[in-house]
Amino acid sequence: MKIVKLILCVLFGLMFINAGLNKFFNYLPVPELPADQLKVMTAFMTIPWLMPLLATMEIIGGVLFAIPRTRALGAIVIFPVMVGILLQHTIVAPEGIIMAVVLFLINIWIIADNWNKYKPMVS
């Protein structure tokens, strides 16, 4: 089970590192977006600091998530981004909902697995 968790967490982290780097360097092709999704992306792009902030959080969270010693912090850093991804795929782009749910569940699993590390923050 430990090796499965390690592999899932490294892959999860790499996905977010890749997504963050792509926001800076635009190396992945962008598929044709339906009008409603294009409207959302256009709105996001009008806020000049939003995408760099999101990209930075994805890269930092992905790196922290992939490293076992910092995984608990990475899970918390990436959680708000993951909620946004889940909402986006629930409301605007339902074709990606399965992957969003799987990633969300992995994030929740790691948060639950590290719950004792978070207790001092909430007590």
Q: Please name the residue that has the structure tokens 């000049």.
A: 48
Q: 81 with 54: CB under 8 angstroms?
A: yes
**Model confidence pLDDT, tens digit, residues 94-122:** 999 999 999 999 999 999 999 999 999 88
Residue 14 makes CB contacts below 8 A (sequence gap 6+) with 62, 66
Mean pLDDT computed over every residue of the chain? 95
Residue 58's pLDDT is 98
Mean pLDDT of 38-57: 93
CA distance linking residue 118 with residue 23, whole number of Å:
30
User: Per-domain residue ranges for the chain?
Assistant: 2-122
Using pLDDT thresholds of 50, 70 and 90, give the confidence band for residue 80. Answer: very high
Residue 48 makes CB contacts below 8 A (sequence gap 6+) with none
Residue 31's pLDDT is 85
Q: Tell if the pTM clears 0.85, that is, is over it.
A: yes
